[in-house]
Every structure is written in C-alpha cells, then in structure tokens.
Amino acid sequence: MAPGRQMAEDRESRRPALRVVPGGASETRREEEALLAAFLVGDDEAFGALVHRHEGLVLAIVRRYAPTPEDARDLAQRAFLRAFEAARRALRRGPRSAVPFRRWLVRIAVNLAKNHRRDEARFIRAPLEELGEREGRPPAAPEALEAAEREARVRRAVLRLPRRQREVLTLRVDAELSFGEIADALGVTENSARVSFHHALRRLRALVLEEESP
C-alpha cells in the first residue's frame, strides 16, 4: 500500500465518525407522518406519541422566554396545537405541500417565543431551578455566588442580543439544532446561520464586558 494512502486511512480511522444512517432522517419523517395520519383518523395515542417525542425540543426553545414553568408549558402546548393545525392543512392540500411535522413545530415555537418576548416585559429572569433550589440550601461559597452571578449576566446578555443572533444562538445551544435546521426554521441560508452564530458570540462577549465594567 502506498504510504500516502496508508496515512489517509489512518487519519480516517482516527477521525470522529459522522455516519449517515441509511434512511435515518426519512425513516423518522415517515414515522411522524404515520403518527400524524393515525391521529387525524382518531388515534389519540398517536397524538400523545408525537407530543412526547418533541416536548423536550419545544421546551428547550421556549423556556428561556417563559418566566414560569407554567408559562413554558402553555407556550409548548400552543406550539403543538398550531403545528398540528398547520400540518393537517398541509396534508389536506396533498403530499406535495406536506412539511415535516418537526419543521412546523420548530418554526412555530420560535415565533411564539419571539412574540411572547415582545408581548411580555417579564422575560428577563434568573433560571427558575436555581431560584427554587436556593431557598432550601445553605449559603453558597463566594466563588459559587460569583459563578452564578456571571451565568446570570451572560443569560441576561443573551436576551439583549439582536433578534436574529439571539435566535440562532439559542436554537443552537438550548435546542441543539443543526445549523441546517436553524436555517430552515428562520428562513435563512445555513451559511448565514453560522455567521450569525459567530456574530452572536462576539456581541455577547461585548455585552457581558459592558455589564461587568463599573
């Protein structure tokens, strides 16, 4: 074997595997279409399965903008209801206009979260889980308090980012969507989403420094 080819193979073997599972995405899509179709003919369990499958994703998208867990739940519920309505209409128009349910859901959840942020002046919050846990725990060490304060500063700064940058950043770090999915949800190109993420990080850093400086 030629040395160059051997090196290339060695490099390939060390590289983290990024495999495309045959039929993976389309298999998931087919399953979702089957669940949706089953629900539309009256199978309530199919509905539950669809909600259960995506509730974590929807919560990840909306919870940053919801001041209480109940608000997050209500936003998630509205997102599911609208996504079902949109998917049902699309299915009625025929298979050509069918859009994967997950894509409807992400786009609708992003819009609901955006509108909620616009409508409510109460979106800036400390993470609820920390507020709840602080009540019952002993006073934290100064280092821990300082770290918590820094986290809070960064999360506040996230909400002060320009809208597109904030959406790209949160869809990536909270919902862990790929940049392809983010691009689909926001109606931009994948490259634009990547560049927006970079600008979001730079802006975030500037905002945090601005808040930290006396």
Partner 1 sequence: MTAPCRDFEVPLSLRAARALDPAEAERLEAHLAGCAACREEAAIADELVRLARLPPPSEEERVALAHLPARTLGALQRREARRGAGKRLLVGAAVAAAAALAVLAPAILRQAPRPVPPAQGTVAAAWQEPDLDALWDDATLLVETAADQGGTGTEAALAALDAGMGD
Of 89, 92, 118, 198, the one binding partner 1 by CB under 8 A: 198
CB of 112 to partner 1, least distance (A): 14
CB 170 within 8 A of CB 158: yes
Q: Tokens representing 205?
A: 């850093």
Is residue 128 part of the contact set for partner 1 (CB under 8 A)? yes
Is residue 116 part of the contact set for partner 1 (CB under 8 A)? no
The whole-angstrom separation of Cα 107 and Cα 184 is 8
The radius of gyration of the chain from alpha carbons, rounded to an integer in Å, stands at 21
- Using DSSP, state whether 76 is helix, strand or coil: helix
How is residue 68 annotated by DSSP? S
Is residue 178 part of the contact set for partner 1 (CB under 8 A)? yes
55 Cβ neighbours under 8 A, 6+ residues apart:
76
Q: By CB under 8 A, name the binding residues for partner 1.
A: 11, 15-16, 18, 44, 47-48, 51-52, 55, 59-60, 63-64, 69-70, 72-73, 76-77, 80-81, 84, 127-130, 132-133, 150-151, 154-155, 158, 169, 172-174, 178-179, 194-195, 197-198, 201-202, 204-205, 208
